[in-house]
Structure 1
Amino acid sequence: MNRPPVIALFPEASFGAALNCVGIARELAARGAEAVFICHPGFTGVFAEYGFREYHLQPEPAAVPGRGETYWQNFVTTHLAHFDLSPQAQLEAYVAPTWEAIIDTVISVEDSLEALLAQIQPDAILLDNVIMFPAILRSGRPWVRVVSCAETEIPDPCVPPYLSGLAPEDVAGRARWEKAASATLKPAHNRYNAFRRARGLRPLPAGEFLECSEGLNLLLAPSAVRYPRMQPLPADRFVFLEGCVREEVPFDPPPLPANEGPLVYMSFGSLGAIDTDQIKRMIEVFATLPARFYVNVGGFMDEYRQVPDNVSLGSWFPQPSVVAQSALFIHHGGNNSFCEALFHGVPSLVMPYCWDGHDNARRAQDTGTGRHMHRSDWSPDALRGVIETLLEDRALRDRLAAISADMKAEPGVARAAEAVLSLVRAG
């Protein structure tokens, strides 16, 4: 190869996947590859800010409305009440409508994605998503599946069902979940398979929206929280990563009037920030604690009129740099956030809204790396008590420090980049 290999990274329209891919792209670039990004509407400029070339998808306007950030904010706002439901109740209320919206996106960008891949001519494609875009398989290019959601996305008899929030040993719960999921998701799955057939691809088995790559699959599943599998994944195709934590600009904590106590960071992701009432309720509890709280409120700064002396709000934080200085990370259970907490040896208080947040909340609780609380069904005293317990647990902090040292000794971004370039070299 007389030119640097071109690697096209295609993350889903979420900041967790997007910034995970930024970490991998930086490492690829450091090893001499040209990393470029294919990005959805609403993410224009996100990757350019990190120095990468962007190729912008142009959805078919007649097929479906644009799937930019405003669309998904409205979608989440509509479903806020459903985030209080159990994972199984969310199947019908939230998960099925979300799959339908995701399928709409796949259909709407198919022609644009096919044209972009023909233009880029990548040597490999990294797909960080929960669904296959037929244009990727139709391109004939080597492709990599990146599992940046919970490890439960890859099924196994010893691994709880994806999105269920169940424990591995809950056999009865698994049976109920699988029966409900099969019935609820069948219409979306049938529609997606019909589109695959129309594009010349084989249909997928019931409940599956994305096949594993025959070349390479990367799973963000640190060994400290990884499940033992009945059917081990072949090591030549499946590479487990100790997180995929990127370096960010340094974070210098803004001084607060109450500038004492441990630093606690809270972020429910770009879309979780929509629930301003819930965040305000939590801030009232924060005001009673001897700690400094830095809270990501996304684009909703104007919703907060009075802020306690020990709380600082921001529309964006360089999250890895903040977490590295934190004594506690309160988050929604996104896999990127969970991995960052483990990477920096910080306990998690996981208050899941939906999707794999339920799986990661369960895993944090079961592995003793954090605590799981319902996102809204709590009293001020209960929330205060959990925060105080996590801040004061010295044994937990020591255990997490050992996990952090192991993860940092084998950075996920480096292992991912080497695996991708090995795939390219192998042709």
Structure 2
Amino acid sequence: MSKTIAFFPEAAFGPALNSVGIAQAVEALGHKAIFLSDPGFVDVYKGYGFEAYPVNLSAPMPPEQMAKFWEDFINGHIPNFRKSPYDQIDNYVRDCWEAIVDSAKWAEKDLPGVLARIKPDLICVDNVILFPAIKQFGKPWVRIISCSENEIEDEKIPPHLSGCRQDDLAGHAAYRDKFNTVIKPIHDDFNAFLASTGEEAYPIGQFFEASPFMNLLLYPESVKFDREHPLDPKQFQYLEGCVRKEKPYEVPAFAENNDKPLLYISFGSLGAGDTDLLKRLIVTIGKLPYRALVNVGDYKEQYTDLPGNIIVESWFPQPSVIPQIDAAIHHGGNNSFTECLYFGKPAIIMPYVWDGHDNATRVDETGHGFKMPRYDWTDEELAAKLDACVSDPAMKAKLAATSAHMQSQNGPQKAAAILDQLAMTGTFDG
């Protein structure tokens, strides 16, 4: 019997496209997948053939104005991208949590009515904050953790957003202390909102909870953290990534270096605003024995007089591009992070915000690539890291093993089977 499964991802391409991958697999089982969406992302889901229902997460505004709001938000913080994760707490991180708490308040105005209208049998939410209406709707709900798995806290692992190494316990404590101090007024405001909806207050620093039904983590086995308290598989399942299906991509001919290794460079749709960094990378790689496809987002007109071994585009069908490359340079967003591992491709991660810091550290400390500072590097250092990416036999062997394991798990199908059981029976028994 067909069930209606609703997905409500955060209004960002990483969570959105991960949920698309799962929704595609859900529909292959005969269920109906629909999306609840920030108005600015409704057309993204419709573009993949899904119904999408708008839920305002801020004061209503035209989609193009909403997109511009977040573009301006990120671009206004570009100076903070030079700072350490610890030093971003009282600027970028604080501002993000203020906006996220506001989004939860706005969602509560629309969500009850939208849920009553579409009557889903199961709700999947990929966000970092609780929407009380979902918890209170009376149907099973699933939390998807598309960012780093340390969104689910543990005393032995680095705090979310910290970029700390697993063994840096002093760094863990320092980050938690500063985060909790800076975030307290915002957290107090959120707890007041929770009280207004009949929900219990959360302890300091916590804005969401694990679902009692199921929590799906996209992190791969080969990079997951060593926890003090292992997660119960009856309530937590690792999906090993959720790579969506995209249209095929044919690598075009380059004016130069057509016989050289192929690189892919992307800092995501919002990170593309850091044009100075992308231009610097283009100049440097223009002198090296590689070809490179560079995602420049909405700023393509700013790139002129390109080297013959560089091709820029505003967008690439990334899951179709990465299988064809030899190495990537990216920002550590979860899609880029997991897709490179899924296809066994080494990455140099130059993080700037959010879980990019955690993913960059993790790829480095597990031997799947390198973490590099975003700005403090020399041409020689970049060249050496790229050479290691394309020629290091130990890294190649590790990536091949990780890729084989991830592809054997088939994350979207694994998720769909779990959701099928929950939608049909209301429980998951393994």
> Identity, % of aligned pairs?
45
In the TM superposition, 1:23-422 aligns within 5 A as 23-58=21-56, 61=59, 68-258=66-256, 259-422=258-421
> Is the 8 Å Cα contact of residues 35 and 52 (structure 2) preserved in structure 1?
yes
Q: Deviations over 1:388-427 (max 9, x none)?
A: 2212223311221121111111111111111111111222
- 1:40 touches 1:68 (CA, 8 Å); kept in 2? no
1:286 Cα offset (Å): 1.1
SS at match of 2:265: strand
Give deviations 1:212-261, integer Å, cap 9, x for gaps. Answer: 10101000111110112111111111111111111211110121111231
Q: After the TM superposition, which of the residue ranges 199-208 and 272-281 deviates more from structure 2? A: 199-208
Q: Structure 1 CA distance, aligned partners of 2:189 and 2:420?
A: 35
Instruction: Give the partner amino acid of 2:226.
Output: P
Q: Tell me, in whole angstroms, the C-alpha distance in 1 between the residues paired with 2:378 and 2:9.
A: 37
Please give the secondary structure, in 2, of the residue aligned with 1:227: coil
Which residue of structure 2 aligns with residue 22 of structure 1? 20
Worse overlay, 192-201 or 22-31? 192-201
User: What is the SS of the residue equivalent to 1:152?
Assistant: helix
| TM-score (normalised: structure 1) | 0.96
Matched letter for residue 400 of structure 1? L
Per the alignment, residue 7 of structure 2 pairs with 9
What is the deviation of 1:67?
8.1
Q: What one-letter code is carried by the residue in structure 2 that aligns with 1:287? A: G
Report the residue type matching 2:364 in the other structure. Answer: Q
> Runs of at least 4 residues of structure 1 off by over 6 A?
none
Q: Secondary structure at the match of 1:42?
A: helix
Structure 2 equivalent of residue 423 of structure 1: 422
Contact 1:260 1:290 in 2 (8 A): no
8 A Cα contact 2:5 2:120, kept in partner: yes
Query: Structure 1 247/77 Cα, relative in aligned 2: closer, same or farther at 3 Å?
Result: same
Shift of 1:384: 2.0
**Contact 1:41 / 1:66 at 8 angstroms: preserved in 2?**
no
Provide the rounded CA distance (Å) in 2 between the counterparts of 1:395 and 1:59.
Answer: 46
Residue range with higher mean Cα deviation, 53-62 or 377-386: 53-62
Q: Secondary structure at the match of 1:46?
A: helix
Query: Counterpart of 1:193 in structure 2: which amino acid?
Result: N
Q: Which ranges in structure 2 are unaligned for 5 or more consecutive residues?
A: none
- In structure 1, runs of 5+ residues without a counterpart are none
Give the direction of change, closer, same or farther, for the CA distance of 1:120–1:241 in structure 2 (3 Å limit): same
**Preserved contact between residue 364 and residue 370 of structure 1 (Cα < 8 Å):** yes
Structure 1 counterpart of 2:213, one-letter code? G
For residue 124 of structure 1, report the CA deviation from its aligned partner: 0.6
How far the C-alpha of 1:315 sits from its partner, in A, is 0.8
Residue 135 of structure 2 aligns to a residue whose secondary structure is helix
Task: Return the offset for 1:370.
Answer: 0.5
Inter-partner Cα distance in structure 2 for 1:309 and 1:110: 52
Rounded Cα–Cα distance in structure 1 between residues aligned with 2:102 and 2:8: 17
Match for 1:109: what amino acid? A
Take 1:28 and 1:270, find their aligned partners in 2: how far apart are those partners?
27
Q: Following the alignment from structure 2 to structure 1, what is the Cα–Cα distance between the partners of residues 65 and 110?
A: 14
Deviations 1:359-380 (A, max 9, x none): 1111011000010001111122
CA distance in structure 1 between the aligned counterparts of 2:409 and 2:174, rounded to whole angstroms = 39
Instruction: Measure how far apart 1:159 and its partner are.
Output: 1.2
Separation in 2, partners of 1:185, 1:418:
38
Residue identity opposite 1:288 in structure 2: K
Q: C-alpha displacement at 1:59, in angstroms?
A: 5.0
Residue identity in the other structure for 2:354: W
Amino acid at match of 2:283: E
